[in-house]
C-alpha cells in the first residue's frame, strides 16, 4: 500500500500496481454506472432483496439532520480543528507544539502566535530589538546632529529612516529565527539567533536594496512620461499625467512589494539566494495576494498605532525643550535640530522600535509558514519534527 500522506476519494483505484483488485462481478448484478453513491439504482439488480436497509450517510448522502444547523464548515473540511468536520463530526484538535496550531491559520491565530512568541521569549526578543534600535538610532542621531543640522527636515528624516531600516533588517533576521523555533516550542537564545542569521545578513541587505530599487524604478517609469511632457512645454498636461502616472506606479510598487514580502523568511529559513528567494516569495503569494496584503496592512497599522502612542510624548517634550519653551515652537513646519531635541526624540524612537519591530517580524514569518502549510503541507513536516523532538527529549531524560 502507498503510505504517503494525502487525500483520496472513496472507491479510487489502488495506489500501488501490486495491490489485489476485486474480481469483476457477473453481469446480472448490473453494470457500473447503474448505481448511485447513496446505494440506489435505476433498476434493481437481479437476485437482490427488495428489503434493503437504508443507506448510511456518507458520500453523496446528506446527514440525518439539516446541515444548516451545523456550525462552521461541515462538508469535507478540516480547517477548524476541534470543531465540526465531516457532517458535523468533531475533529481532533490540531497539533500545537509551539505558538501556533499546525494547520492553516486564521488572522487571529497569526497575531496570537506573534504575541505569544514575544511573551514566551520576551527577554531574548527585547534584548535583540533594543540593542539594534539603540545602535541604529545612535548612528542616526549623530549623523543628523553633526552633518545635517543645516539641511531640510525632509533630508534628515530620510537619512535617519534609511539608517533605522538597515538596523531593522538585522533585527528582523534574528527575530525570524526565533519565531521559527517557537513554532516547534524550542528554546532559543540571542546567541543562537545571531549565529543562525549572521551568514545571511549581507544577502538580506542586498535583497532589500534591490526591492527598494525596483519600486523606485516602477514609480519613475509611471511618472516619467508626464515629466517629459511638462519639460517640453505642456505644463498643465504634464503635471496631470505625472500625478496619474506616479499614482499608477505606486500601485504597481505596492503590488510588487506584497508579492516579494515573504522573501525575507525564505532567505533566512530556506537558505536560498537573493533572486531565488524573491522568486519563491512570488510563488508563495500567488493566489493569496489580497489576504497577505490585508494581514500585512493590519500588522502595519498595529505597529504604527503603538509606535505613535509611545513616541508622541517624547516628540512633544523634545519640541518644548529643544525649542526653548512652548512660546518658541516652530510655526513654519521645520523641526528643531538641537541636541536636546535629537536625544529626546531618539529615546522615544528606540523605545517604540524595540517594542514594535518583533510584531512586524513575527507577522511576516508566520504568514510565510501559513502559506507553506496551505500550499506544501508544511504542517506535516513540522508535526513530524515535533514528534521526533519529543521522542528525543524522552530518550535523553531516561538516559539521564
Which residues does residue 58 pair with via DSSP β-bridges, in sequence order?
A: 61
For residues 295 and 356, give the distance between their C-alpha atoms in angstroms, rounded to a whole number: 16
Give the pLDDT confidence score for residue 198 in this predicted structure: 92
DSSP letters, 135-178, are HHHHHHHHHHHHHSTTS-HHHHHHHHHHHHHHHHHHHHHHHHHH
With contact defined as beta carbons under 8 Å apart, do 75 and 88 qualify? no
Give the pLDDT confidence score for residue 323 in this predicted structure: 61
What 8-state DSSP symbol labels residue 86? G
pLDDT one digit per residue (tens) for the chain, 400 residues: 333 333 232 333 333 434 444 444 444 333 444 434 344 444 444 444 444 444 444 434 444 443 333 333 322 333 334 444 444 445 456 788 889 999 999 999 999 999 999 999 999 999 999 999 999 888 888 888 787 766 666 676 777 778 888 888 899 999 999 999 999 888 889 999 999 999 999 999 999 999 999 999 999 999 999 999 888 888 888 899 999 999 999 999 999 999 999 999 999 999 999 999 999 999 999 999 999 999 999 999 999 999 999 999 998 888 888 665 544 445 444 555 678 888 898 899 999 999 999 999 999 999 999 999 999 999 898 888 888 877 766 555 455 5
Contacts with 75 (C-beta within 8 Å, 6 or more apart), sequence order: 67, 86, 87
Give the pLDDT confidence score for residue 392 in this predicted structure: 66
- 316: nearest Cα among 351, 338, 344, 352: 344
Residue in the structure block whose three cell numbers are 513540522: 382
DSSP letters, 214-265, are HHHHHHHHHHHHHHHHHHTT-HHHHHHHHHHHHHHHHHHHHHHHHHTTTHHH
For residues 190 and 386, give the distance between their C-alpha atoms in angstroms, rounded to a whole number: 22
Give the pLDDT confidence score for residue 391 in this predicted structure: 73
For residues 197 and 200, give the distance between their C-alpha atoms in angstroms, rounded to a whole number: 6
Question: Other CB atoms closer than 10 Å to residue 57's CB: what's the count?
Answer: 14
DSSP letters, 323-361, are TTSGGG--SSS-----HHHHHHHHHHHHHHHHHHHHHHH
Amino acid at each position: 500500500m502507498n503510505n504517503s500522506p494525502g487525500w483520496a476519494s472513496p472507491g479510487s483505484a489502488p495506489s500501488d500496481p501490486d495491490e489485489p483488485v476485486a474480481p469483476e462481478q457477473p453481469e446480472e448484478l448490473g453494470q457500473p454506472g447503474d448505481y448511485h453513491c447513496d446505494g440506489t439504482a435505476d433498476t434493481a439488480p437481479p437476485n437482490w432483496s427488495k428489503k434493503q436497509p437504508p443507506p448510511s450517510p456518507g458520500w453523496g448522502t446528506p446527514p440525518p439532520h439539516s446541515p444548516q444547523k451545523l456550525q462552521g464548515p461541515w462538508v469535507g473540511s478540516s480547517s477548524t480543528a476541534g470543531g465540526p468536520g465531516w457532517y458535523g463530526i468533531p475533529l481532533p484538535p490540531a497539533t500545537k507544539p509551539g505558538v501556533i496550531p499546525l494547520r492553516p491559520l486564521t488572522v487571529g491565530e497569526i497575531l496570537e502566535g506573534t504575541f505569544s512568541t514575544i511573551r514566551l521569549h520576551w527577554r531574548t526578543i527585547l534584548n535583540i530589538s533594543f540593542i539594534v534600535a539603540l545602535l541604529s538610532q545612535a548612528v542616526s542621531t549623530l549623523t543628523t546632529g553633526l552633518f545635517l543640522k543645516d539641511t531640510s527636515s525632509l533630508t534628515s528624516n530620510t537619512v535617519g529612516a534609511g539608517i533605522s531600516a538597515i538596523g531593522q533588517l538585522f533585527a528582523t533576521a534574528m527575530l525570524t529565527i526565533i519565531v521559527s523555533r517557537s513554532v516547534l516550542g524550542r528554546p532559543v537564545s540571542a546567541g543562537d539567533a545571531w549565529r543562525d542569521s549572521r551568514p545571511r545578513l549581507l544577502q538580506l541587505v542586498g535583497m532589500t536594496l534591490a526591492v527598494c530599487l525596483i519600486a523606485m524604478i516602477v514609480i519613475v517609469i509611471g511618472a516619467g512620461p508626464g515629466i517629459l511632457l511638462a519639460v517640453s512645454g505642456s505644463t498643465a498636461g504634464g503635471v496631470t499625467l505625472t500625478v496619474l502616472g506616479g499614482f499608477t506606479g505606486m500601485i504597481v510598487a505596492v503590488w510588487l512589494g506584497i508579492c516579494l514580502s515573504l522573501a525575507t523568511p525564505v532567505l533566512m529559513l530556506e537558505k536560498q539566494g537573493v533572486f531565488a528567494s524573491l522568486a519563491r516569495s512570488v510563488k508563495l503569494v500567488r493566489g493569496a495576494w489580497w489576504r497577505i496584503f490585508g494581514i500585512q496592512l493590519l500588522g502595519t497599522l498595529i505597529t504604527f498605532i503603538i509606535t505613535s502612542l509611545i513616541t508622541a510624548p517624547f516628540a512633544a517634550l523634545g519640541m518644548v525643550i529643544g525649542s526653548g519653551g512652548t512660546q518658541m515652537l516652530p510655526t513654519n513646519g521645520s523641526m528643531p535640530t538641537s541636541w536636546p531635541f535629537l536625544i529626546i526624540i531618539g529615546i522615544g524612537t528606540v523605545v517604540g522600535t524595540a517594542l514594535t519591530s518583533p510584531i512586524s517580524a513575527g507577522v511576516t514569518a508566520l504568514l510565510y509558514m501559513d502559506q507553506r502549510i496551505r500550499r506544501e503541507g508544511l504542517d506535516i513536516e513540522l508535526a513530524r519534527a515535533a514528534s521526533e523532538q519529543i521522542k528525543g527529549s524522552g530518550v535523553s531524560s531516561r538516559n539521564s
